[in-house]
Amino acid sequence: NHVYVHIIAITEAQCGKLGDKMNTLFLDAQTHLKAAFSYIDISEDIQKRLKYPKKTTLVSIPVRMDDGRLEVFEGYRVQFDNTRGPTKGGIRFHPSVDLDEVTSLSFWMTIKCAVAGLPFGGAKGGITVDPKTLSRLELERLSRGYIRALADVIGPNRDIPAPDVNTNSTIMGWMAEEYFEIVREQRPDVITGKPIHLNGSLGREAATGKGALYTLLHWVKSQNIEPENTRIAVQGFGNAGFHFARLAKQAGFKIVALSDSRGGIYSEDGLDPERIMHHKKTRHELKAMLYCDASVCDEAEYKQISNADLLKQDVDVLVLAALENQVTEKNVAKVKAKVILEVANGPVSAGADDILFNNNITVLPDVLVNAGGVIVSYLEWVQNKTGLYWEESEVNERLKFRIVREAETIFNLARDKALSLRTAAYIHGVARIAGAIKEKGTREYFQNG
Ligand SMILES: NC(=O)C1=CN([C@@H]2O[C@H](COP(=O)(O)OP(=O)(O)OC[C@H]3O[C@@H](n4cnc5c(N)ncnc54)[C@H](OP(=O)(O)O)[C@@H]3O)[C@@H](O)[C@H]2O)C=CC1
Ligand SMILES: O=C(O)CCC(=O)C(=O)O
């Protein structure tokens, strides 16, 4: 299989050229960086370095399909910055994966790991594929092929992948096992988000949703708002959105609307995410709840809504837990929520973000809100390295302590300097990265300066 795999490690100079060709997502993401630079004492050299990914790898992954055909898929791994430690970030399987998206996601990972105070830089990977069209065996072959193609650039102290959209613990297990075969050594610290039976961490499955809930709870407390008086709509009902919705209901919030890629449902009386997940699992769409047998359904009245409708709901908190660019300058005027909780990466465009700030709509930013996933991935990596495994309660306590500590710093900075929470989060994270670059000395950054 290796014969078919082409690894192209792109140099910095080529990256500059690629940078020029990048379309809106990466350029949009960079807007927030520029905003943060104006509040930090940071040299021009460091500013310039942070605008380019350090290493971009593109691979082709040949897969023998069940019917005997050979399909070749495009795979990516972008390692944006490793100044603070090995790079870290998930792997996405989705038809819209391209270099622009993966680079943007790797940039957000870099900021996020710094915001969370983790000893990691940022990376992201992906394959351009609709995994819903593959059989289980095709999916396994594709996942293993991705690792065979990228085994030279990842590693337990180099770059540590994890799950993202349409990937999960099963896929991480296959990938880890493929890596062990290649290096002839058990290295569970090469990938996080693994199954519990393959040295994964208790608490990783729900960590992204849980971290988002801790951030929201800290926010409502700072505003003297009771969860019981807070109505929430959630876009996206996968790992992050489902666990957030489930835990938010347990914490007393009222979930009135939910959606997945096929549409959504609304109930003024409130929805039960666990019950809805049960129906989604059997009928593959969230709105299957609408057709469920009356004897199984409760008394609540459900209304079908579109994905566009979900964003317009008159709720207290709009939770975006699907994909990037969901609220843009085109639809931002329709948003009625008072608070947006960014569980997804980059769900609000930079232009929409400015409009929301000017309209006094609070955006709790992705680089803080969804950091729970990578925080528990870090805890998994530490457990894998030490061989000492913690109870779930210990993992959750460590997650809560870290995310609340960083949230408190960011909330205070935003309040004291009258900034958006996003700008405050970027200042907090970028200052840590810039500090590390400075301390590292002149080898890479200032060779001729
Ligand atoms: N998993 C993790 O640990 C982390 C994830 N994130 C981010 O959270 C977001 C979601 O990731 P994750 O939950 O893991 O991914 P999943 O694949 O588990 O879930 C994604 C969900 O989004 C839904 N979706 C896709 N498109 C739309 C749309 N247009 N409208 C409404 N729903 C849609 C999918 O629907 P369907 O079920 O029909 O496919 C699915 O329910 C991503 O931005 C990811 O980068 C961030 C930090 C960590
Ligand atoms: O758990 C991780 O290492 C990374 C998760 C991720 O991809 C993300 O935070 O966007």
ipTM of this predicted structure: 0.99
Structural domain total, the chain: 2
Catalytic residue among 124, 210, 249, 254: 124
Active site residue 124: yes
C-beta of residue 335 within 8 angstroms of C-beta of residue 170 = no
Q: Is the CB of 368 under 6 A from ligand 1?
A: no
pLDDT of residue 8: 37
**Statement: the pTM of the whole predicted model exceeds 0.90:** yes
Q: Quote the CA–CA distance of 374 and 372 in Å, as a whole number.
A: 6
pLDDT of residue 3: 29
Ranges of residues in the chain with a pLDDT under 70 are: 1-23, 288-300, 442-449
Main-chain phi, psi angles of 152, to 5 degrees: -75, -20
Annotated binding site: 88, 112, 208, 239, 377
Ligand 2: which of 76, 79, 87, 88 to mutate, judged by most atoms within 8 Å of the beta carbon? Answer: 88
Residue 89: its H or E element: strand 87-94
111 lies in which domain range? 2-190
Q: Are residues 170 and 212 in the same domain?
A: no
110-137 pLDDT, tens per residue?
999 999 999 999 999 999 999 999 999 9
Distance from Cα 295 to the centre of ligand 1, integer Å: 31
Residue with the smallest CA separation from ligand 1 atom 24 is 261
Give me the sheet containing 8-10, strands edge to edge.
8-10, 55-64, 70-81, 121-128, 87-94, 159-163
Domain C-terminal end among 312, 334, 369: 369
Distance from Cα 260 to the centre of ligand 1, integer Å: 8
CA-based end-to-end distance of the chain = 45
- Residue 8 is given by DSSP the state E
Residue with the smallest CA separation from ligand 2 atom 9 is 374
Q: Is residue 429 part of a domain?
A: no
Domain C-terminal end among 336, 369, 402: 369
Distance from Cα 162 to the centre of ligand 2, integer Å: 6
C-beta of residue 1 within 8 angstroms of C-beta of residue 70 = no
Main-chain phi, psi angles of 307, to 5 degrees: -60, -40
Task: Look at the block and give the residue holding tokens 């082409």.
Answer: 6
Q: Are residues 262 and 162 in the same domain?
A: no
222-265 pLDDT, tens per residue?
999 999 999 999 999 999 999 999 999 999 999 999 999 999 99
Distance from Cα 90 to the centre of ligand 2, integer Å: 5
Look up residue 185 and give its two tokens.
Answer: 């050594």
Q: Are residues 181 and 213 in the same domain?
A: no
Q: Is the CB of 370 under 6 A from ligand 2?
A: yes
Q: Are residues 179 and 216 in the same domain?
A: no
Q: Are residues 257 and 289 in the same domain?
A: yes
Residue with the smallest CA separation from ligand 1 atom 40 is 238
Q: Are residues 328 and 225 in the same domain?
A: yes
DSSP letter string, 41-87? ---HHHHHHTTS-SEEEEEEEEEE-TTS-EEEEEEEEEEEE-TTSSE
Q: With b meaning 16 or more CB within 10 Å and e meaning fewer, what string describes 253-291?
A: bbbbbbbbeebbbbbeeebbbeebbebbeeeeebbbbee
Q: Is residue 425 part of a domain?
A: no
Atom of ligand 1 nearest to the CA of 207: 3
Ligand 1: which of 323, 369, 403 to mutate, judged by most atoms within 8 Å of the beta carbon? Answer: 323
Q: Quote the CA–CA distance of 264 and 304 in Å, as a whole number.
A: 6
Give the Cβ contact number of residue 30 at 10 Å.
Answer: 17
